[in-house]
Amino acid sequence: MAEEEKTRTLAIICSKGSLDMAYPGLVLANAARMLGIEVKLFFTFWGMDIITKSKVDHLKVTPVGNPAMHMPNLVGVIPGTTDLATAMMKKSLDKIDMPPVSEFLEMIHDAGAEIYACRMAADMMNLNRKDLVNEVDDIVGAMEFLEMTEGAQMLFI
């Protein structure tokens, strides 16, 4: 009897909730699904902002402490700098037809990716299922997520 071919799985842990950190995990999840790779996304700590209904459409780019912004931290604390950086990133994303985060989550989920929220982070932030976007499949603990992704390629973002 021939060995069954095992499905390739990519597990992506999203731990940061800024606009510039939302896209890497979503882009990789989308690319993987396009290649037929099984995808499981796990949102934890500040990454919960990406899947929280009240926050998903209000994510920002924070220049303070971000060396990739190529500006002194002092400039980042000037009022309005975060809003300016956010507007600039959104404009750049629009130019390349990148969907907003909430739409991207919907696209990825519709393509078959599974989306999970971290139980501990949800409890810490007093979030329950109704606070999360509809695409979240479940709220699970870290051990449960690790068990369901055994043997998967694991990315921590």
138: nearest Cα among 123, 113, 110, 118: 118
- pTM (2 d.p.): 0.89
- Residue 102, pLDDT score: 97
Angstrom distances, CA of residue 146 to CA of 12, 89, 129, 155:
11, 33, 21, 12
- Residue 149, pLDDT score: 97
Task: Quickly tell me which residue has 């990739």 as its tokens.
Answer: 68
The answer to whether residues 29 and 47 touch, using CB atoms and an 8 Å cutoff, is no
State how far the Cα of 51 lies from the Cα of 62, in Å rounded to an integer. 19
- Residue 73, pLDDT score: 64
- Residue 1, pLDDT score: 44
pLDDT per residue as tens, the chain (157 positions): 445 567 899 999 999 999 999 999 999 999 999 999 999 999 999 999 999 999 999 999 987 767 677 676 666 677 777 888 888 889 999 999 999 999 999 999 999 999 999 999 999 999 999 999 999 999 999 999 999 999 999 999 9
DSSP 115: E
64: nearest Cα among 50, 89, 81, 47: 81
Angstrom distances, CA of residue 72 to CA of 49, 66, 137:
26, 9, 41
The answer to whether residues 108 and 33 touch, using CB atoms and an 8 Å cutoff, is yes
Query: Fold for domain 10-59+99-156?
Result: Hypothetical Protein Ychn; Chain: A, (3.40.1260)
State how far the Cα of 145 lies from the Cα of 103, in Å rounded to an integer. 24
The answer to whether residues 82 and 89 touch, using CB atoms and an 8 Å cutoff, is no
DSSP 35: T
Q: What are phi and psi of 100, to 5 degrees?
A: -60, 160
